[in-house]
Amino acid sequence: MNDGTIRMSAIENLPLPVWAEFQFKGNATEYFNIWIVNVLLTIVTLGIYSAWAKVRTESYFYGNTVVNGSSFRYTGDPLKILKGRALSVVVFALFWLLFNYYPGLILWAFTAACLAFPFVVVASTSFRMRNSMYRNIRFRFDAAYLDAYKALLFPLGMIVATTTLLYIAFDASELATLMDAVEDPEVEFRSEDVFFTIFILAAIPFIPYLMYVLRRFVVDHMHYGSAPGSFMACAWDFYKVYLKGFVLTFGLMFCLGIILAIVMGSLGLGDEMETGTALEGVEALAALVVAMVVVMYGVGFYLLGYLNSRLTNVTFNNIEIGPLLLHSTLRGRALGTLYLTNTIAILLSLGLMVPWVKIRMARYKASRTEFLAKDMAGIEAIEQSDQSAIGEELGDIFDIDIGL
């Protein structure tokens, strides 16, 4: 049929392990039909069918991902997913109400969401792994909820501690008294502003560490049948990715700033802005702003492509599941180009190209991923209990994705 089958038999007859490429066999036309039926039935059933649509979509993508002649299987139960979705809609509605009518309570809601985050990570990972199958063996995630809180305690605690320290230091500094003097009527508003700035400043140095801890937590607690996963990356690997991304971002922003200054200077916009009368000046400026926004978006896609490709690579290349190894060689530029062209395609087609976009994304990712099985015979299936889909759906609606 294809080279996948040949490879498979090669692997099982020879003792020498061979790196096998992932293949994605889906095609856009076929998936378009599945997608459009899903969309129609979801609309007609007022969203209820979306649970079945999800299972069908996942089954399509899992089933078309083939390595060593065997495909993956998704075994999620639509009814469980529906229950999870119903709960998620309620939570979403609560957040919406809070956001629009009780903005004062947002901070509390934010805290509650943070506290629930480890729970959602465990619940959603458990559901996804339990329902992922390859070669008649299920994946499994055996972390207890408490483990997640323990694992996240240090990085989150560090962020809280740093924020507090910085805030105290700021309060005692001359800057605070200076600001107090300037902004007498709105001290409260300002201090809230300052608090968020400090929070972000304090969080940034720990984001790579948080990402590392999250992925290590997931991989260390996952199993493929009887084979336990272990994560071999160290935190520094993640810091290297983010540091390079940081340097890249600021380098590009600096270049863009210089280009903007040169363009504005050559148009003489600066002078006209000062006199403030010329209509053409305002229009040229508007056009320039639009152009800058477009360029920024384009650059943003490539930065995102860089970051996502490196994070996936560093994660996959450090996963060991018993005798199984993964190898990922995603390229930042290729991924950025995919993000950019995908977005343009979706915009121009009013969403009709969504299936094509998802297919080519899956195809690219599969083509850059390899798999090595040193010994398949040693892996045995393990009985496991059923999982509810609540965490999975909560994670979906709030866009929690740990990227595995």
Partner 1 sequence: MTLRVTGNLYRERTAQSKDAIAIFSDSGFISFDSTDLDPVPLSEVQISERVGATARTIVFPDGAMFEAGDNDSIDAWLVHCGQRTSWRHRFERSRPLIGISFVAIALIMLALVRWGIPAVSDYIAQRLPPGVDATIASGALEALDDGVFEPTKLSEAKQQTIRERFQRLAPIHTATDFQIVFRSGGWIGANAFALPDGTVVVTDQLVALAIHADELASVLLHEIGHVVHRHSLRQVIRHSWLAMLSLLIVGDVSSAGTLVLALPSVLVQSAYSREFETESDDYALIRMQEIGLDPVHFADFMERIERCAVAGEDVLPECVQGDADDRTDTASGSGGWQKYLSTHPANAERIARFRQSH
Identity at 184, one-letter amino acid code: D
Are the CB atoms for 68 and 7 separated by under 8 Å?
Answer: yes
Task: Assess 137 for contact with partner 1 (CB under 8 A).
Answer: yes
> Smallest Cα–Cα separation from 335: which of 369, 358, 301?
301
The two structure tokens encoding residue 363: 């195809």
17 touches partner 1 by CB under 8 A: no
Q: Give how far the C-alpha of residue 128 lies from the chain's centroid of Cα atoms, to the nearest Å.
A: 15
Sequence length of the chain is 404
Among 111, 172, 283, 289, binds partner 1 (CB under 8 A): 283
Strands (E), 260-344: 319-321, 324-328
Q: Which of residues 284-313 bind partner 1 (CB under 8 A)?
A: 286, 297, 301, 304, 308
CB of 147 or CB of 183, closer to partner 1: 183
Name which position in 21, 48, 71, 284 contacts partner 1 (CB under 8 A). Answer: 71
Residues 216-255 that bind partner 1 (CB under 8 A): 224-225
Which residue, 102 or 236, has its beta carbon nearer to partner 1? 102
Binding status of residue 31 toward partner 1 by CB under 8 A: yes
Q: How many CA atoms lie within 13 A of 372 on its CB side?
A: 16
SS3 366: helix
DSSP reduced 3-state for 222: strand
Residue number, 11 or 123, with CB nearest to partner 1: 11
CB 149 within 8 A of CB 118: yes
Would you count residue 77 as binding partner 1 (CB under 8 A)?
Answer: no
Does residue 171 belong to the site contacting partner 1 (CB under 8 A)? no
Q: Are 360 and 342 in contact (CB under 8 A)?
A: yes
Q: Cβ distance 273 to 307 under 8 Å?
A: no
Instruction: Single out the segment in contact with partner 1 by CB under 8 A; choices: 157-165, 214-222, 242-250, 277-285.
Output: 277-285
DSSP label of 228: E
Q: Which one of 16, 184, 279, 385 is in contact with partner 1 (CB under 8 A)?
A: 279
Stretch that binds partner 1, among 173-181, 211-219, 371-379, 386-394 (CB under 8 A): 371-379
The Cβ of residue 80 has, within 10 Å, a number of other Cβ atoms equal to: 20
Chain residues in the site for partner 1 (CB under 8 A):
1, 9, 12, 25-26, 30-31, 33-34, 36-37, 39-40, 42-44, 47, 50, 56, 59-60, 62-64, 69-71, 73, 96, 100-103, 134-137, 186, 189, 224-225, 276-277, 279, 282-283, 286, 297, 301, 304, 308, 339, 342-343, 346-347, 350-351, 354, 357-358, 361, 376-381, 396, 401
